[in-house]
Amino acid sequence: MEVFLGKDNLGDDDCSRSWAVFIYLTPPETDPPLSFTNIDFYVSPTSRKAIKDAADFIGSSHLTIQETSKTVAKLDEIEIDRPLQNRGIGSLLYEYVETWACKNKITQISGDLSPVDSDHFDTLERFYKKYGFTFTIFKQPTTNTWYLGKVEKFLTL
């Protein structure tokens, strides 16, 4: 069961449309509970009062914070619906997530790139490097094609 933590203003995209972020805590659904906390950030137009289902938001980001090291977070995704990409919404979302992480004493954000991402590693590389991440991709030894990667950034509190 998700717990609503709040709503905040993200700002305007490159087309002057205003966006909001809705923040939820999702406890692990295991018994006994696993040792991490999931924080979900959902993007929606500012006119929305609440998010009730997936149709209500156009983008999301997901952080997993390990209980053993409360200063490290895994960034699982930053995703914006394709028709709304390249308008600065993903940047607004990431900037918000990083600010939230710093306020919550997170000192490191890292994430993995999967083979699903391999067709747009170049776009991801530009995005992450813009925000100061190290971006590493690994080639498949037999075909010399990109197939996995990692992003990592140390935050200044």
pLDDT computed for residue 33 by the predictor: 52
pLDDT-wise least confident of 73-77, 79-83, 104-108, 145-149: 145-149
Strands 108-113 and 72-80: parallel
pLDDT computed for residue 55 by the predictor: 62
Residue 100 CA to residue 104 CA, distance in Å, equals: 6
pLDDT computed for residue 54 by the predictor: 58
pLDDT tens-place string over residues 14-70: 989 899 888 888 776 655 555 577 888 888 888 776 666 656 688 888 777 765 578
pLDDT-wise least confident of 22-26, 127-131, 143-147: 143-147
Q: Is the pLDDT of residue 121 over 60?
A: yes
Cis, bond preceding 32 (omega within 30 deg of 0): yes
pLDDT computed for residue 76 by the predictor: 84
Residue 157 counted as domain residue: no
Give the length of the chain.
157
pTM for this model (two decimals): 0.83
**CATH number for position 37:** 3.40.630
Residue 115 counted as domain residue: yes
Collapsed DSSP state (helix, strand, coil) of residue 143 = coil
One-letter amino acid for residue 11 of the chain: G
Does one domain contain both 11 and 31?
A: yes
Does one domain contain both 130 and 143?
A: yes
- Between residues 108 and 84, the one the model is more confident about: 108
Residue 18 counted as domain residue: yes
Does one domain contain both 136 and 63?
A: no
Q: Which domain holds residue 50?
A: 3-106
pLDDT computed for residue 108 by the predictor: 93
pLDDT computed for residue 37 by the predictor: 77
Does one domain contain both 126 and 88?
A: no
Would you list the DSSP string of 63-108?
A: EEEESTTTTEEEEEEEEE-GGGTTSSHHHHHHHHHHHHHHHTT--E
Does one domain contain both 65 and 120?
A: no
Of the candidates 98, 81, 99, 89, which has an alpha carbon nearest to the alpha carbon of residue 11? 89
Q: How many domains does the chain have?
A: 2
